[in-house]
Structure 1
Amino acid sequence: MITCYLRYVIDPDRISDFEVYGRMWIPLVEKFGGKHHGYFLPHEGANNIAVALFSFSSLAAYEQYRIESQQDPACQEAYEFARRTKCIISYERSFMRPVLGDITLRR
């Protein structure tokens, strides 16, 4: 499993637009076989940083999602919404391997 960590710099005056954008993407990631873990909006601290986390079974499955999503009308609508509202200033993407389940310390 691979988890995509997206760190967004957002316009703090457009948080509600960014929330709409996030709500658009959650079912879209799942439509293409991913598991969305949610968007996380500013609460305390920096008012212009948001995060999204979602997982795919493999990096290859994520790459297939990227290819297919570029042709999907609902995905194009979400991209256009962000462009039109200018709620996203920039973003960076990282991939991580989650550690899940029971953790047993080995001695």
Structure 2
Amino acid sequence: MAKVAGDLPLYSCRNCQNPIALRSDLLSKAYIGKSGPAYLFSHAMNIIVGRKEDRKLITGAYSVADIYCCNCGEILGWKYLRVYEVKQKFKEGKFIIETAKIAREY
């Protein structure tokens, strides 16, 4: 089992087991990604942030960048770079990671 930061539980890439996010950075489990259920995280690690693009999502318009596992290159979700809707500003700088792409480890 992979552990980091004082043996805190974490989420890792389902493809290569690279640590991606700490359980303590999980903000919500009530999101939808490109392929289904997704989680909102305040921070992510061991990722590569792709190029910025504007997207129209369910809750409004955003500037986002896809995020990839730095080890195997698997697309994991996206990072909110800029949020245009005032009610959605809390998402700015946060990460959507699809549940199908990660595994929880203890």
Normalising by the smaller structure, the TM-score range is under 0.3
- Bigger relative CO (Cα 8 Å, ≥ 6 apart): 1
Higher share in helix: 1
Higher share in strand: 2
| TM-score, scaled relative to structure 2 | 0.27
